[in-house]
Amino acid sequence: MGVKAKLSVYRAKRDFTRTAEPSGEGEVAGGNRRRFVIQKHAATRLHYDFRLELDGVFKSWAVTRGPSLDPHDKRLAVAVEDHPLDYGDFEGAIPKGEYGGGTVLLWDRGYWEPEGEARPEEALAAGDLKFVLDGERLHGSWVLVRMKHDRFGGRRTNWLLIKHRDGYAREGDGGAILAEDRSVASGRSMEEIAAGKGPAPRPFMRAGRGSRG
C-alpha cells in the first residue's frame, strides 16, 4: 500500500482549510534512522500521541495517561490512523469543532530502532513490537503489545505501552517524567501554544538527514 492510500483516513477526517495540521502532501526525506515523536494533546481528553516512523508514515497510538518509566505501569495505547511524517513538526491549536480539536505540544522526539530478529512490520502485525527509544526525554527499551481480546476485532485496536527493565526504568516513580511539560521544540507551555504566543517549534522531520534540529 502506498503512502497516499495509508493517509486516506487521516485526510478524510480533516478540513485543511480550517486546521493548520499538515495535509501530508509535502515530501519528507527519509533519514538513516527511524524517527519518533510524542505530542501532548489536550483534546476532549488529555492524552499523548505516540508516533513511530515506519514505511513512509507515522504509525500512531493515543496513550491515554502518557508514557511511564515504571515497567509495572502498563499504559493503554489506542491505535489510530496513520499520520504523515510532516506531522512530526506540528505544534499548535486545532480549532474547536474540528477532529481532535485542542492544543498540541511536541513533548518528545528522537529516534527508534526495533529489537529482535523480526522485521518491525512483521512484529507490528503480530501485535508485539519491541523497540529502543533515543529521545530527548524517553530512552531505552520498550514494547507495544496488542491486547489479546482485540487481536481480530475493531478498527481501533487496544495496545499496551510498557517500559522494559533497564537503566532508564524508574520503578515506583514512572509518571514523574510527565511533569516535564514544556515543548522540546519551542520551550513553550500548553497555555502559550493555545494563545499563539512564543517561538515557533524548531523543525525536526525537515531538519535534514540525521539531525535533531
Residue 146 and residue 57: Cα distance in Å, rounded? Answer: 20
CA 151 to chain centroid: 21
Respond yes or no: is residue 4 known to be catalytic: no
DSSP E strand boundaries for the chain: 34-42, 46-54, 57-63, 75-83, 92-94, 102-114, 128-135, 139-146, 158-163
Q: Check if the beta carbon of residue 25 is closer than 8 Å to that of residue 203.
A: no
Of these residues, 59, 74, 96, 197, which one is catalytic? 197
Residue type, 86: D
Give the active site residues.
197
